[in-house]
Amino acid sequence: MRHESRRLILLLLPAGIFFAAFFLLPMARLFFIGGSGKTGWAAYAAILTDAHYFSSLLSTLGVATATTAATLAISGISGVFLQRHKFPGNGALVAMLTLPLAFPGVVIGFMVIMLAGRMGLIGQVTQALTGEKLVFAYTMSGLFMGYVYFSIPRTILTVMAAAEKLDPRLEEAARSLGASPWRVVLDVIIPGLKPAFISAGAICFATAVGAFGTAFTLAAKINVLPMVIYTEFTLSANIAMAAALSFVLGIVTWLVLAVARTAAGSSVAAAG
């Protein structure tokens, strides 16, 4: 089957060439440009040594961690619930929960503005109730809300798919041994969903670290790494620093996903 190998290489070649020319080569170039600025290769350490960059790294990781925790909790509860209980309207609920599956970040930013912006629903309601208008769309909380909004649909799908595969007999066995509902959740359901949680969580995290559209829509003032990179590139024209920072950011998100993939043992679907 020597001919076949040649044909298979031929079929893989277009994707390979495209990928090498437009991803590998540019990434390599980005790496070298990152080291070509005023500070040289020290630019790669700046994310830790420069107070400004370091603080934005911390807040980026903070918002990503919070997003991941909140999304997993919300999607875990609702996903298992919707998988376990089939009632009239169940399908409609699933449809609504997964509708924003591919909303882009900018649109999600706008959804946050509709809820928590200056003319948002939350502001109107709080004003009517307390006389004080609650507006937080343009802050870190707004960003957090946007990322949770973004992550819920895909996480719920992952959780539901995993919950479907859980063997209900395990729960029955646990209950027959005298476990309370909470212990069943703790000892059977959560361990069973762990791989799904790891893979979905990694995607939440990576998205929250690297996404740009939501932050851009909400405000340029929010101090997260993608916004810092964007500012370095456009306003300060500091291309080397932008390159170094984005290279580091890329490595971080890629590592998170790669580690999660190994930990979960199954393939982690890519983030949107």
Q: Which of residues 31-50 bind another protein (CB under 8 A)?
A: 33
CB of 96 to another protein, least distance (A): 5
15 touching another protein, by CB under 8 A? yes
Q: What is the dihedral of CA 219, 225, 227, 233, to 10 degrees?
A: 160
107 touching another protein, by CB under 8 A? yes
CB of 215 to another protein, least distance (A): 10
Cβ contacts of residue 17 below 8 Å, gap of 6+?
Answer: none
Among positions 42, 102, 177, 186, the unique one binding another protein when judged by CB under 8 A: 102
Stretch 51-80 residues interacting with another protein (CB under 8 A)? 74, 77-78
CB of 52 to another protein, least distance (A): 18
What's the one-letter identity of residue 222? I
Cβ contacts of residue 53 below 8 Å, gap of 6+?
Answer: 46, 47, 225, 228, 245
Stretch 228-257 residues interacting with another protein (CB under 8 A)? 229-230, 233, 239, 242-243, 246-247, 249-250, 253-254, 257
Query: How many residues line the site for another protein (CB under 8 A)?
Result: 89
Would you give the binding string for another protein spanning residues 134-173, x where CB under 8 A is met? ---------------x--xx---x--xx--x---------
C-beta of residue 204 within 8 angstroms of C-beta of residue 260: no
DSSP letters along 216-251, please?
HHH-TTS--HHHHHHHHHHTS--HHHHHHHHHHHHH
14 touching another protein, by CB under 8 A? yes
State which residue, 115 or 170, has the beta carbon closest to another protein: 115
Rounded to an integer, what distance in angstroms lies between the CA atom of residue 167 and that of residue 226?
Answer: 42
H or E element that contains 178: none
Rounded to an integer, what distance in angstroms lies between the CA atom of residue 256 and that of residue 261?
Answer: 9
192 touching another protein, by CB under 8 A? no
